[in-house]
């Protein structure tokens, strides 16, 4: 019997959390959209039929007014080969199947079309994770899922290759934000639509846990009476394959010795 894979994210809970998001919480989306625009400007090409996949349309529509905005549903409303650029706008971390999300974006690209994805990386909110874990272990002796696990840059870069995109590149941008205290950070996370939408999560949380977590946060990650929070944004870039693109040489096809290219003497290793 084939069993369905357990889902990490509860889509109904995620929809409810996103409905409570506020415009003032969209500043990270605005930063991500600006970074994507910068990357597009570095490409010597005009993109006439872009699409943006995101759970937060307003900041991305403002940045890309000519783009088609598509919700980040499990099945994307994208037509095969319809776009010369597809942007995944800071929502990939909430996907239960990020590989399939990127693959669908690839399928929506024309040959030599560009994919750019922006997503949160593994260092995001590491301070809050530490404070919550230490507080919960101290109070209850156990741990409950409270912050979404996010991928590291190496793992996320592999998604591009698995999804069949060529010339894959991944880079990272770290944003450190200052808050009055941990409670202010958690209020901001609600405004961002980035609350706890994990499918397996604690149903009830004792108030003492958040009080203790705030104390630990201030003690370990405080600066001049405030606290800092890290948001790591990872940008993934890949191209729909095309014959005009550069391709790696086959192993053993080199016609020049490495020692000659480096201008050095080749030394045989002992058996």
DSSP string, 231-260: EEEEEEEEE---TTS--PPPTT---S-HHH
Ordered mean pLDDT values, 10 residues apiece, the chain (271 residues) = 62 95 97 96 92 98 97 96 98 95 98 97 96 91 81 94 95 96 96 91 78 96 94 97 69 60 64 60
Identify the pLDDT of residue 252.
Answer: 58
Radius of gyration of the chain, Cα coordinates, nearest whole angstrom? 22
Identify the pLDDT of residue 246.
Answer: 66
In terms of Cα–Cα distance, which of 92, 57, 245, 261 is closest to 168? 245
Tell me the whole-structure pTM to 2 decimals.
Answer: 0.85
Q: How far apart are CA 145 and CA 222, in angstroms?
A: 24
**Distance of alpha carbon 138 from its chain centroid, rounded?**
31
- Residue ranges with strand state E in 92-247: 109-120, 166-179, 222-223, 226-239
Identify the pLDDT of residue 1.
Answer: 35
Please tell me the number of Cα atoms within 13 Å of 198 on its side-chain side: 12
From the number of C-beta atoms within 10 Å of its C-beta (0-12, 13-18, 19+), residue 166 rates as: middle
Cα distances (Å, whole numbers) of residue 215 to 131, 167, 168, 182: 8, 46, 42, 8
Which domains are present in the chain? Answer: 11-243 (3.40.50.150)
Q: Is the dihedral of CA 101, 174, 63, 40 positive or negative?
A: negative
CA dihedral 175, 74, 242, 162 (to 10 degrees): 70
In terms of Cα–Cα distance, which of 94, 151, 159, 158 is closest to 124? 151
């Amino acid at each position: 019997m084939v069993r369905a894979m357990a889902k990490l994210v509860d889509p109904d809970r995620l929809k409810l959390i996103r409905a409570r998001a506020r415009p003032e919480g969209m500043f990270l989306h605005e930063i991500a959209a600006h970074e994507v625009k910068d990357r597009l400007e570095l490409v010597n090409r005009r993109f006439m039929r872009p699409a943006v996949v995101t759970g937060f349309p307003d900041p991305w529509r403002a940045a890309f007014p000519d783009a088609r905005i598509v919700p980040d549903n499990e099945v994307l409303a994208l037509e095969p080969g319809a776009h010369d650029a597809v942007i995944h706008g800071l929502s990939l971390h909430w996907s239960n199947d990020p590989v399939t999300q990127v693959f669908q974006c690839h399928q929506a690209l024309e040959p030599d079309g560009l994919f750019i994805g922006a997503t949160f990386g593994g260092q995001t909110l590491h301070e809050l994770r530490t404070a919550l874990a230490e507080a919960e272990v101290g109070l209850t002796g156990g741990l409950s899922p409270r912050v979404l696990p996010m991928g590291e840059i190496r793992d996320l870069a592999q998604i591009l290759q698995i999804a069949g995109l060529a010339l894959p590149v991944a880079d990272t941008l770290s944003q450190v934000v200052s808050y009055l205290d941990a409670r202010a950070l958690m209020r901001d996370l609600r405004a961002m639509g980035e609350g706890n939408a994990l499918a397996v999560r604690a149903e009830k949380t004792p108030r003492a846990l958040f009080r203790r977590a705030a104390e630990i946060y201030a003690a370990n990650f405080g600066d001049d009476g405030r606290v800092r929070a890290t948001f790591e944004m990872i940008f993934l870039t890949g191209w729909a394959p095309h014959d005009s693109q550069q391709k790696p040489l086959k192993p053993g096809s080199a016609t020049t010795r490495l020692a000659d290219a480096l201008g050095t003497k080749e030394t045989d290793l002992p058996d």
